[in-house]
A = this chain, B = another copy of it.
Amino acid sequence: MNKKNIRILLEKVKNGKIDINKATSTLKDLPYKDLGYARVDNHRSIRNGFPEVIYCEDKSLDEIEGIINEMLKHDNNILATRAKRKVYDRIKTIAPETIYHQRSKIIFIKTHPIQETESKVLVVSGGTSDIAVAEEAVVTARALGSQVDTLYDVGVAGLHRLLDSLEKLDEAEVIIVVAGMEGALASVVGGLVDKPVIAVPTSVGYGANFEGLSALLTMINSCASGIGVVNIDNGFGAAHLASTIILQIEKART
């Protein structure tokens, strides 16, 4: 719906190449398909090569199936997040090539190959317990085309584990830090590099952790500059942000 498109459409209307009802209808129908309970956006993925995405939480199996059925018509890759196993069981009946990443609860339907970027995203996690969220970021970033490396279980309570892996930090263009409990890892990584760091607080912890609030506040208040924070447990969002950054870098390469 950007201005350039509007102008082109106006030109066509003026030149009589398109009639007004058609023009109005085009504007209306192009970007999505209205299923009643959902409006499937066929639009975004075409623009940048990203897959179409569906967030499964709080949706019924029928709704998810309906939305994916619509998506399958456009021959895009499809990513379904927060998908319970029963979602997978249903979807593989309509799309046999569906892959299920159990730990991160992501479904990926790869209908066409992905070209991996030259730039690299590094996903760093604090503890073994944070891996589910870290994997959500890894799977998402790969589905969005980014090259991904990982560095797990390097929490600040054993700093030498992180310091031994500085090369990995040096080699990535963007770093995603996934950490629960007090979330101090983001500040430490942010202090070691001068590149974009995306921090994902996790709900791992107990007591005054308050389901991730503690890690969220830590990261938002980080004394290290250059850190952007996403929602608690939102590995998907971090990977999406990382991939938009990578996209800009790749554009600059060409």
Contacts and interface: CB of A to CB of B under 8 A. Distances in A.
Contact of A14 (B20, B222, B234, B244): B20
Contact of A157 (B34, B38, B48, B190): B190
A142 interface: no
Interface in A165-208: 166-167, 170, 173-174, 181-184, 187-188, 190-192, 194-198, 201, 203-208
A106 interface: no
Contact of A160 (B31, B37, B59, B203): B31
Nearest to A154: B39
A10 B7 contact: no
Contact of A234 (B1, B163, B191, B207): B207
B226 A237 contact: yes
A81 to B, nearest CB: 10
Number of copies: 8
Interface string A214-229: 1111111111111111
A129 interface: yes
B221 A237 contact: no
B204 A58 contact: yes
Interface size class of A (residues with CB under 8 A): 35 or more
Given A163-B1, A206-B232, A252-B119, A244 B196 contact: yes
Contacts of A23: 10
A231 B223 contact: no
Given A223-B181, A231-B206, A245 B245 contact: yes
Given A126-B223, A220-B230, A248-B249, 15 more contacts: A1-B166, A10-B13, A10-B23, A39-B161, A55-B127, A55-B129, A63-B128, A155-B191, A156-B191, A181-B223, A183-B218, A184-B222, A207-B220, A225-B241, A226-B240
